[in-house]
Structure 1
Amino acid sequence: MDKNDARSSLFQDVGLLTFLALSSATGVLMAISGHIFLNVVYLFCTGMLMMITYFFGILPSLISNIVFIAIQAVIMVYQYVTQTSHLPWQLSFWMIMPILLSLALYTMTRNQVALQKSNSELRTSLIERGAFDEQTNLRTTVAYIEDIAVFAETNRRFEIPVTTAIIKIRYFNDLKRMMSPDQLRHLLKLTTETIKEKTRTNDVIYLLNNEDPTWAVLLYSDTKGTSIATNRIKEGFAENVQADVSLNTLAISMVVGIASWDGETMKTPYDLMNAGIHETQYDV
């Protein structure tokens, strides 16, 4: 979180706490002051002022608060003139509290909107750069290629084995013609959740292709360890498909290709990805 987001978050919290404190104080003052009818009317008006603040901003809110104060002054003068009684000073808190509540609410919501805008811009930036898939919340090919370079450097420096597993749906083009759009989206979600469920926390998962669904997993493991991991994914996928009412009537299965990074024969991250994709042809 950068400094602007941290400041917005702080102001949002301060606004919330201030709003709650003022609301509590208003409730106490209402109980002490009496004048039930006027308190109810003023409370309703204050609620309207809060709505104006929330939906239209601080300037219309301040104007409305000034009008509300003027109305209260007229009511107090009218009571004094017509009833020859003392001015109801007990209700004077209504001249101050609504505007304070409005300012607290504005502080809270303004900074909340700023945080939401910042998060939205960050998410949009990631999607536009192709590093993040909006539907599955997985990294995409852009991030995969960048991460392979990091994994490959780790392999070179520390001789830690690096392997990728490429996962596809067998005969997807044929299945696609028999499935509804909802079923296709559900299959994509189910496959993603299965891969997440059956991999370790330090294994990184990617969605390389949406049209011909292709997932990838990067692992610090040798071919044998990756084979064990992918068999676990396959078994979990078969179980989940069989238990799913909308998919268990179709012959759906996975194909997996496994390739290990070889610093002598592989020069770019694409070499590892293409080797893994090529190996999917031999998974029978």
Structure 2
Amino acid sequence: MKSKDRGWLSLLADIGLVMFLTFVSFLALLVGLSSNLTWNMIYLAVTVVVMTVTYFYGLIPGMLSNLLFVFGQMILALYINVYLKQNVPLKMAFWLILPGLLSGALAMMMSQQQRLQSDNHKLRRQLIEQGVVDIETNLRSLVAFTTDAQVYIENHRRFGLPVTMVTFKVRYYREIRRLLSDAQNQSLLRTISNVLAVVAADNQLAYFWGSKDPTWGMIGHLDQKQAQRLVEQLQQHFTKAIDSHQELHRFDISLTTGIACWDATMNSPYDLMRQGMRELEYDV
């Protein structure tokens, strides 16, 4: 799907949300102005059921439910007028219209969001098949790193922007791995990956390289001081995440970090990555 189409779908979803909230506001206002509390509560409960049908099954089942609701209201009004000899207040007529409008707005919003989600899943599947995204952590892989780093390096050559690679590993991972179950190990990998995803800014990309000796990396236009602040921020988030984890808080888990800055002695993205790996050895 083209970015223009995605933007259009997102706009339609937003319009549907605004319409839905507007109709809900009208409904709340009209219910407040009406004095028939009992009937309003009954009709409101039915409307919630209709909205639920629309949410899970789509526009057509939702509209059919609305037609049944309208037909039921008409039968009830006829019974009250003919058999009970009473008049149904005209101000209750909004229940004939608003539930249908709510269903239409909700269906519009949900259909566009579902199309966007479907496109996102399709794109993610393509990235995984191409080896761009690691399936376990949802972070970018070594394949993606080589391409991404070339862009950062080119920006450095053109505009003089600094390029820095920050690498991370679990300190004494092999020893800790023996104490962890497979589920706990996967949870640890996901926790670190989630921390990187949270800390990474818009102009920074996070990577995961291999599960046997798990290594994470982050590249961005950072100088040495900015990279150091990024490391400190990540360490704080990681410590907080581990301490609050239901199982991992029992283990003494910490990260080793390395910071490598692109310089004139480097020729390829792999030089930057290897330097980052070497810097890990000094963090003991």
Asked if Structure 1 and Structure 2 have the same fold, meaning a TM-score greater than 0.5 normalized by the shorter chain, the answer is yes
| Aligned match of 2:57 | 56
Give matches, 1:127-276, under 5 Å: 127-133=128-134, 135-136=136-137, 138-150=139-151, 153=154, 168=169, 172-181=173-182, 184-185=185-186, 188=189, 205-216=206-217, 246-248=250-252, 254=256, 269-270=269-270, 273=273
Identity %: 33
Deviations, residues 184-219 of structure 1 (Å, cap 9, x unaligned): 346546766898999999776532222211334557
- Paired residues, number: 272
Q: Distance in 1 between matches of 2:167 and 2:115?
A: 40
Q: Please state how far the C-alpha of 1:179 moved relative to its aligned partner.
A: 3.4
- Give the partner amino acid of 1:16: L
RMSD: 4.4
* Counterpart Cα distance in 2 of 1:178 and 1:142: 31
- Native 8 Å contact 1:167 1:215 kept in 2: yes
Structure 1 unaligned spans of 5+: none
The question of whether the paired residues in 2 share the 8 Å contact of 1:65 and 1:98 is answered with yes
* Residue aligning to 2:38: 37
Q: How does 1:77-156 map to 2 (within 5 A)?
A: 77-133=78-134, 135-136=136-137, 138-150=139-151, 153=154
- Aligned-partner SS, 1:207: strand
CA contact 2:256–2:280 (8 Å) conserved in 1? no
The CA deviation string for residues 221-252 of structure 1, in whole angstroms up to 9 with x for no partner, is 99xx69x96xx78xx69x969x965333x8x7
User: For residue 68 of structure 2, what is the amino acid of its counterpart?
Assistant: V
Q: 1:109 to 1:276 in 2, by over 3 A?
A: closer
Counterpart CA distance in 1 for 2:27 and 2:198 is 51
Q: Deviations over 1:39-58 (max 9, x none)?
A: 22222211111111111111
SS of the counterpart of 2:83?
A: helix
1:133, distance to aligned residue in structure 2 (A):
3.4
TM-score scaled by length of structure 1: 0.69
- C-alpha offsets along residues 70-91 of structure 1, whole Å, 9 cap, x if unaligned? 1111111111212334454332
- Shift of residue 270 of structure 1? 4.8
Q: Distance in 2 between matches of 1:178 and 1:135?
A: 21
Please identify the structure whose Cα radius of gyration is greater: 1
Structure 1 range deviating more: 194-203 or 148-157? 194-203
Q: Which amino acid aligns with 2:250?
A: S
Is contact 1:33-1:91 (8 Å) kept? yes
Cα 1:200–1:43 change in 2 (3 A) is closer
Measured in 1, the distance between the counterparts of 2:158 and 2:82 equals: 91
Q: 1:188 to 1:68 in 2, by over 3 A?
A: closer
The change in CA–CA distance for 1:88 and 1:274 in structure 2 (over 3 A counts) is: closer
Counterparts of 1:71 and 1:217, CA distance in 2: 61
Instruction: State the TM-score, normalizing by the size of structure 2.
Output: 0.69
Q: Is the 8 A contact 1:54 1:105 kept in 2?
A: yes
Contact 1:259 1:279 in 2 (8 A): no
- The answer to whether the 8 Å contact 1:77/1:87 transfers is no
Deviation at 1:173, TM superposition (A): 4.1
